[in-house]
Structure 1
Amino acid sequence: MPTTVLGLLGVLLCALAVSSEVTPQTDFNIERVAGKWYLIGFATNAEWFVTRKAHMKMGIAMLTPTNEGDLEMAYSSLKSDGTCWKMNHLAQKSDVPGIFSFRSDRWETENQMTIVDVNYDEFALIHTVKTKAGSSTVLNKLYGNTHSH
């Protein structure tokens, strides 16, 4: 991936963290996001990130569309002690293509996820608003993709 694209996406990651105007990719195609994606960057306004970022490893997300149009998400990453960390969510579609919602029992959060920008052969930029006990935080993730369609 050209470094100029990564640079622009880095700026976009930070801009999204303070923006309330987040819209999904036009003509979003759920079938084309299927497969393995590598987390290559993220930005958040959550306090936990500040204390943990030094120990965090980049992870992998396996995205699998369901027949109903929802999105199965399987995350895995290597923890600092060398063990594998895994988490699964079923993101349910909304009335707007590219916007999904899911609950995380592990973190006790309600999440709205928007696939903001995706070039299906290179990258996906995903904006998630996590709400817990009436308080919301924003998490933006940039995924890179090495497989071709």
Structure 2
Amino acid sequence: MRIALVTIAMTMLLLQEVKADIQPQKNFDVQRFAGKWYRVGLAYDSLSFAPYRSKLTISMGMVDPQPNGDVNMTMWTGRCVCLSTSCKSKVYVYEKTDTPGVFSYFSSRHNKVKDITVVDTNYTEYAIVFKFKKMNREYSQVSLYGKCVCVCV
């Protein structure tokens, strides 16, 4: 497991450097990708993000493929892993593109379209997801997602 985490961390760093030719998971299957995921790691090349790194918590998302090929991604904050009644969520609509594993969505926060690419996943344990946006410069973010069977007490 330790070797796998080191490999994933190194992959995240490499993806940050090789923005130009990011390729999605080969034969990506959105139905197999559906379900509950936990964002457990994040690398981001925005200098304005640096002061917030220590505040980053695990967040949970629910990937819900739609009949038209789009995906609804509902995200909850780290305090809502067990989905208590006080949880707040946000739904993002990831629009399908011509390439399986590549989506785009409109960020109301930044008033920009962002690209999402599922770079690597085994569908049951981990996923590496690359987010790209162009504002005053290009920004990229790499997230490590994991699936687990968690018991809320």
Shared fold per TM-score greater than 0.5: yes
Q: TM-score scaled to structure 1, two decimals?
A: 0.89
Equivalence for 2:67 = 67
Equivalence for 1:131 = 134
Q: 4+ residue stretches of structure 1 with deviation over 4 A?
A: none
SS where residue 23 of structure 1 aligns? coil
Whichever residue aligns with residue 144 of structure 2, its letter is L
Contact 1:37 1:61 in 2 (8 A): yes
Over residues 36-78 of structure 1, what are the superposed CA-to-partner deviations in whole Å (9 max), with x where a residue is unaligned? 1011111110122201111121111110000011111111114
From 142, 145, 148, give the equivalent of 1:146.
Answer: 148
Contact 2:25 2:119 in 1 (8 A): yes
How far apart are residue 85 of structure 1 and its match? Answer: 5.2
Equivalence for 1:94 = 97
Contact 1:45 1:139 in 2 (8 A): yes
Contact 1:71 1:93 in 2 (8 A): yes
How far apart are residue 136 of structure 1 and its match? Answer: 1.9
How far apart are residue 86 of structure 1 and its match? Answer: 3.0
Equivalence for 1:114 = 117
Q: How does 1:37-52 map to 2 (within 5 A)?
A: 37-52=37-52
> Where does the alignment leave 5 or more consecutive residues of structure 1 unmatched?
none
Contact 1:78 1:84 in 2 (8 A): no
Whichever residue aligns with residue 18 of structure 1, its letter is E
Distance 1:48 1:130 in 2: 15
CA RMSD of aligned residues (A): 1.6
Number of paired residues? 142
How far apart are residue 121 of structure 1 and its match? Answer: 0.8
Which stretch of the first structure deviates more once superposed, 47-56 or 92-101?
A: 47-56
Whichever residue aligns with residue 138 of structure 2, its letter is S
Distance 1:85 1:108 in 2: 22
Distance 2:64 2:137 in 1: 30
Whichever residue aligns with residue 133 of structure 2, its letter is K
Distance 1:84 1:107 in 2: 24
Over residues 74-104 of structure 1, what are the superposed CA-to-partner deviations in whole Å (9 max), with x where a residue is unaligned? 111147xxx8553221011111100000011
Distance 1:59 1:84 in 2: 12
Equivalence for 2:13 = 14
SS where residue 68 of structure 1 aligns? coil
Whichever residue aligns with residue 101 of structure 1, its letter is S
- The percent of aligned pairs where both chains have the same amino acid is 27
